[in-house]
Structure 1
Amino acid sequence: MKPLPGSLRPTLYDEAQVDAFLAGEPLPVLPAKPHPDDLLTDAEAGAVAGVSASTIRADAVNGLMPRGKELHGRRWWTRADAEARAARLTQYKGRTAGARDRTPRSRPDHRIAEVVAELDRAEAGHRSSVTAEELAECYGVSTRTGERIMSKARAERSKSIR
């Protein structure tokens, strides 16, 4: 079987073929179809599983799939392991190969909405102006972080006014 395009797979020989060659016998024919015991590199296993090579390595380290075996100074996974990884539910898959969604996955800060409400109250005259020092004391953060919260709240408020 030909290696996947772009892989730097070293040439490996089937043990039965090597034994036949050394004994001077005709070489046995290799299987035409992929076999579950085929050894794949991280990139090849990732291509079979539909994830990146780094996800294969990370899953192996984190116990989400077998660690593979080391031969010739390189780690190899069986095709069966890669196919089992592909069959895992989507919510547990890592980033798919070639994914372009690099946006941060941070949660919205609840303090921003609270400060926007306080800014609205201050503008309506129901309270005094909101200060960074007040926010720092209220949320137990530094004055600089209070300024950052205030800045984000003002930006959020200006978006909602438009």
Structure 2
Amino acid sequence: MIPHGRPTLDLAGVAERAGVSLSTWRRQHHAAFAAAVQHLPGSARPLLYDAAQAEAHLAGRPLPALPTEPHPEDLLTDAETGQVAGVAASTVRADAVNGLIEPGVERHGRRWWTRAQAEARASRPTQYKGRTPGARNKQPAGPRPDPRVDAVALELAQAATGQGPAVTAAELADRYGTSTRTAERILTRARALLAGA
């Protein structure tokens, strides 16, 4: 997390402020620096440091404290944004690509989102594709029942007792606006429904 309004430095930036090359910094100064100045939480590849704290350490002054209260403009990584929003980091990245969340800002070669954007994402229900997480049924859902089959089965039963006209695939195709083949399928299912009743 990058606290609101706080400039940041990566190792190359710290070395530049110290007036040495990155390789010299790593070899001679980084161990003492890392013991005194903590990198910002959530930062990795690259590790980021608060610029005011880094400069205070380089000048031999006490380190200023970082803000402890969350702010809507704090910058969060994809993992931190997902934690606030209640989704996976990959979902945050996918939402940004698909326009379901702001694209974020780029700093130090990676994307960051504000806490406000993460909280807005948390209030939007997730659009699941596929099975609901935690579902116990392993089998895919079967075909949805076709209400036309029940109606045709009733007509077939009435026709069998002489209380209604014969039912044909051509008449069903005309009534339901389907192909004759689809009407034949409806008729076959209705007969199977009657046979099983």
Alignment RMSD, CA only? 4.0
Structure 2 gap segments, 5+ residues each: 1-39
* Aligned partner of residue 49 in structure 2, secondary structure: coil
Cα shift at 1:122: 0.9
* Aligned partner of residue 124 in structure 1, secondary structure: helix
Note closer, same or farther for the CA distance 1:22–1:36 as it changes in structure 2 (3 Å cut): farther
Answer yes or no: is the 8 Å Cα contact 2:152–2:187 preserved in 1: no
- Per the alignment, residue 93 of structure 1 pairs with 125
**1:125-146 CA-partner distances (Å, limit 9, x unpaired):** 1243554x76566433473x55
Listed as ranges, the matches of 1:8-157 within 5 Å are 9-10=44-45, 11-86=47-122, 88=123, 92-95=124-127, 99-100=133-134, 112-125=146-159, 126-129=164-167, 131=169, 138-141=176-179, 143=181, 157=193
Structure 1 gap segments, 5+ residues each: none
Give TM-score, length-normalised by structure 1: 0.60
Give TM-score, length-normalised by structure 2: 0.52
Answer yes or no: is the 8 Å Cα contact 1:39–1:76 preserved in 2: yes
Number of aligned positions between the proteins: 144
**1:93-151 CA-partner distances (Å, limit 9, x unpaired):** 2158x93359989xx67xx21232012211221243554x76566433473x5566567
